[in-house]
Chains A and B, each alone.
Chain A
Amino acid sequence: MNDEPTPLERDGPREGRRRRGRGIRARVALTFVVLLALSTLVSVLALRALLHSRLADRVADTLAEEHEQFDREKASLPNDASLEGSLQALLRENPPGQDEGLFAFVEGRLVEQTFTGPSPLILAREEIAALGRGTARRTGEIPTAIGPLAYDASAVEVGGERGMLVATNSLIGERAEVDESVLAAGLVGTVVATLAALLAVLAAGRVLQPMRQFQDVAAAASESNLSLRIPVTGDDEFNDIARHANAMFERLERAFGVQREFINDVGHELRTPITIIRGHLELMGDDAEDRQETVAIVLDELNRMTRFVNDLLLLTKAEAPEFLRLETIHLATFTEELATKARALAPRAWRLDCAGSGIIVADRQRLTQAMMNLAQNAVEHTKDGDEIAIGTASSGGEARMWVRDRGSGIALDAQQRIFDRFSRAGAGRLHGEGAGLGLAIVRAIVDAHGGRVELVSSPGEGSTFTIDVPSEPPSRKSRRRREVASPSAEHASR
């Protein structure tokens, strides 16, 4: 099949689709017709050859029979009987069958003949005469104008006289009968093959029915309607394909939805600072104090936008293989650094639960960023003086890091999507870090390390975010393979 789109197919998907649909059906039908015609032809020819060969065998048997007959009768002949007389008696008493001929020779001279059908002597006088002059048994066929003439010539001997008895069969009538039967069989075969081909065309249409539905849905999908599904009606291969395709459409639809939502969210998130900047600039008065205030607000909003855009870029980059800059990190000193940096975020009762020991290979800057985002998130869910604890531990090839707060906690339904982009656990714009990308960045960083991030929280009692990363991140290839192997693992870690 030629998959290159022809200019006609490029004109419009609808036209191309119809053409392809009919093409398969026509090809199936044509294949069936050719196969059936070939098999009918071959079987008719084979039947003819078989029947002809059997006919030849039977004829040979009948011809041999004539000699056996003579040998049997020779025993009952009177002693003084001559060869010529005996042969004449044999021929008279045994009338030939259809298309048979019997020729008796004594010393090369034809003494008696009987036959039915066309005369063998007219057809092959010379050859029969030559057989009559022979002395040993010979069998075979003589080609003649109307077909082969089978013969069986054998020597006979009575009272010292020698002669030949030649039996022939022209096979013409028998062959005609065989050919008539074969022709009839061929006719029946042709009719049956034609009917079968018609049924095959219908069956091909039926079999291809789901294919057409598939085409309709796929064409609609390519015209941006992703909500259609192929009807699944059974358990065969087509329905298998349909199920897979439906799953694919579902994922596409979801992905497009997520993308639309994402862009909507980005727009919303950028619009607020833009509105603030524009509003303040429009209302800026002439006095120096007002100007100073406005410039401060505008710069702050611009910084916020910059951070937001950087976060978006980071989330995109996190999917690229060269995202991580790995180095050896001593867990104990790393924990100290984390605690120091966290204290600078906001006035809270910061605690260090415990610091793990040993080294891990990871991206120090990104891991720090992830932990700071968690700390910032904890700050946003607590008030001045509330306790927030940071800790790390290492065990069995894994490093664990956590941020624990006794703040407002996170509602159960919000916990499900807290690591999604723009899923703030509350309405309104958060002040400080964020546009709801902080925890999405945490997950992206942890995913890049081949680790997991988990949340345990109950409203009113606070939350604990835990990051588990392997001491050495698996190579990107094997990590991808694992993701493909268990797509549900991602959900489980949320």
Chain B
Amino acid sequence: MSRILIAEDEPRLALFLEKGLRANGFTTKVVGDGVGASALARDEDFDLLILDIGLPGKDGFTVLREVRGIGQRLPVLILTARDDVSDTVTGLEGGADDSSPSPSRSRSCSRGCASACVARGARRPR
């Protein structure tokens, strides 16, 4: 069973992400601010972090840097609300594994999550 941490401050966005991922057999946890996201990613064991950039407290980039800074190899999928290429580039430079322009296509999103988890799972012996 793969566990996914959703860092997203808009509850209704998080709600359907959760719903879609659960329907596809994932276990999810939602956190609404950057500080909490950073702490959870550090302290608990997740197979994937879905990270919004515009988080209150700490923005997504900061969370990503912190997660990578402590050597976490947790795959990170960044949600960008904007199409800004600069956001995407900053995210990928910071160590994100993929960037999805808005989470609306939740089926393809969950497929992406699955493949990210599978890829890491294959590389990381459990």
Contact = CB atoms under 8 A, between A and B. Distances in A.
Whether chain B is bound by chain A comes out as yes
Interface of A: 264, 268, 271-272, 274-276, 278-280, 282-283, 297, 301, 426-429
A283 B106 contact: yes
B16 A272 contact: no
B55 A427 contact: yes
Given A271-B81, A271-B102, A279 B13 contact: yes
Given A275-B104, A282-B105, A427-B55, 4 more contacts: A280-B15, A427-B9, A428-B56, A429-B10
Contact of B59 (A271, A279, A427): A427
B9 A276 contact: no
Interface of B: 9-10, 12-13, 15-17, 19-20, 23, 54-56, 59, 81-82, 102-107
A274 B107 CA distance: 17
Contact of B81 (A268, A279, A283): A268
B16 A283 contact: yes
Contacts of B19: 283
Contacts, number: 55
15 contacts: A268-B81, A271-B81, A272-B81, A276-B10, A279-B16, A280-B15, A280-B16, A282-B20, A283-B16, A283-B19, A283-B106, A301-B12, A427-B54, A428-B9, A428-B55
A280 B17 CA distance: 9
B20 A275 contact: no
Given A272-B10, A276-B12, A279-B13, A427 B56 contact: yes
Nearest to B105: A282
Contacts of A283: 16, 19-20, 23, 106
B88 to A, nearest CB: 15
Contact of B13 (A264, A268, A276, A282): A276
A278 B23 CA distance: 17
Contacts of A426: 56
Of A264, A271, A276, A279, the most chain B CB neighbours within 10 A belong to A279
Contacts of A264: 82
Given A275-B103, A428-B56, A280 B12 contact: yes
Nearest first, the 7 closest Cβ-Cβ pairs linking A and B are A279-B16, A276-B12, A278-B104, A428-B9, A275-B104, A428-B56, A427-B56
B9 A279 contact: no
A333 to B, nearest CB: 40
Contacts of B59: 427
